[in-house]
């Protein structure tokens, strides 16, 4: 096994360990129309980091790029709250 193969094997093992970790927290973003988006993460720190960006959007009218919540591209959406919850 050469050095590149060893690095690739170590990287693969690391990624497998990370993917096996349980999701422990969730960031819930609520919109004015009653829909909500949930983002699961593996630590409280990761949840807080994600929530910082989401909280910047609270109270703003944003143009949607389209998503699985039924918002079509070009729709105006308003974020009303962001919560970090433990699973």
Give tens-digit pLDDT for 49-69. 999 999 999 999 888 777 767
Note whether residue 29 is domain-resident. Answer: yes
Question: What pLDDT, on the 0 to 100 scale, is given for residue 52?
Answer: 96
pLDDT at 87 over 80: yes
Note whether residue 40 is domain-resident. Answer: yes
Note whether residue 9 is domain-resident. Answer: no
Note whether residue 70 is domain-resident. Answer: yes
Give tens-digit pLDDT for 5-35. 888 888 999 999 888 889 999 999 999 888 8
Number of structural domains found in the chain:
1
Sheet holding 36-41, edge to edge: 36-41, 25-31, 76-86, 61-63
Q: Domain range spanning residue 67?
A: 22-86
Note whether residue 34 is domain-resident. Answer: yes
User: Whole-angstrom Cα distance, residue 21 to residue 41?
Assistant: 10
Note whether residue 43 is domain-resident. Answer: yes
pLDDT at 72 over 80: no
DSSP E strands, 1-87: 25-31, 36-41, 61-63, 76-86
Question: Distances from the Cα of 29 to the Cαs of 7, 10, 36, 46, in angstroms?
Answer: 38, 36, 5, 15
Higher pLDDT, 55 or 77: 55
Question: What pLDDT, on the 0 to 100 scale, is given for residue 44?
Answer: 95
How many helices and strands (H and E) does the chain possess? Answer: 2, 4
């Amino acid at each position: 096994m050469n050095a590149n193969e060893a690095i690739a094997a170590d990287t693969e093992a690391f990624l497998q360990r990370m993917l096996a970790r349980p999701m422990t927290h969730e960031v819930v973003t609520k919109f004015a129309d009653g829909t909500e988006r949930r983002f699961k993460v593996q630590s409280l720190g990761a949840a807080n980091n994600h929530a910082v960006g989401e909280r910047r959007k609270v109270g703003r009218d944003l143009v949607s790029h389209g998503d699985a919540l039924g918002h079509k591209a070009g729709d105006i959406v308003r974020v009303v709250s962001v919560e970090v919850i433990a699973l």
